[in-house]
Amino acid sequence: MRILGLDYGTKTVGVAVSDPLFLTAQGIEIIRREHENKLRRTYARIEELCRENEVGKIVLGYPRNMNNTEGERCERTKEFKVALERRTGLPVILWDERLTTVAADKTMMESGIRRENRKDYVDEIAAMLILQGYLEYLRNTGG
């Protein structure tokens, strides 16, 4: 079994998957869509990735505000979570994603990825950071 990590955005979903031992998160792709509310193909691709990677759980980035309040993006994320659980039959854990995009951008800068190319990778790297944070939580809590 593996865990899938998702960074859900308005037009993209960054995707990462754990190794079977839950030690590391690897980015696998960015699912792109033309319109924010057109999610049918996005759900279908996530279902396919879950089957291909023998996923048993999904960790979904939860975009709280820096002052810990929840805005419109949190509501959309909760709706996405409910639909994912219904479509995949898997548990979906919401995971605080504050500062993951900032950390992803810093990682890319340190890796030498040019500024104009960073937008091509930021969602996948953010998904990796979300999932890696959850994996570290599991290790630290004995989960």
Written as tens digits, the pLDDT of the chain (143 aa) is: 999 999 998 889 999 999 999 999 999 999 998 877 789 999 999 999 999 999 999 999 998 877 777 788 889 999 999 999 999 999 999 998 876 666 666 665 676 666 666 566 677 888 999 999 999 999 988 77
- The pLDDT of residue 48 is 97
- The pLDDT of residue 115 is 66
- The pLDDT of residue 124 is 83
State the alpha helices, DSSP H only, in the chain: 40-52, 72-88, 100-110, 115-118, 122-141
* In contact, 131 and 59? CB cutoff 8 Å: yes
- The pLDDT of residue 24 is 95
* Number of domain units in the chain: 1
- The pLDDT of residue 74 is 87
Give the integer Cα–Cα distance in Å for 65 and 113.
Answer: 28
> Which CATH number covers residue 104?
3.30.420.140
Predicted TM-score (pTM) of the model is 0.86
- Structural domain boundaries enclosing 79: 2-141
- The pLDDT of residue 120 is 61
- The pLDDT of residue 35 is 78
Give the integer Cα–Cα distance in Å for 115 and 96.
Answer: 26
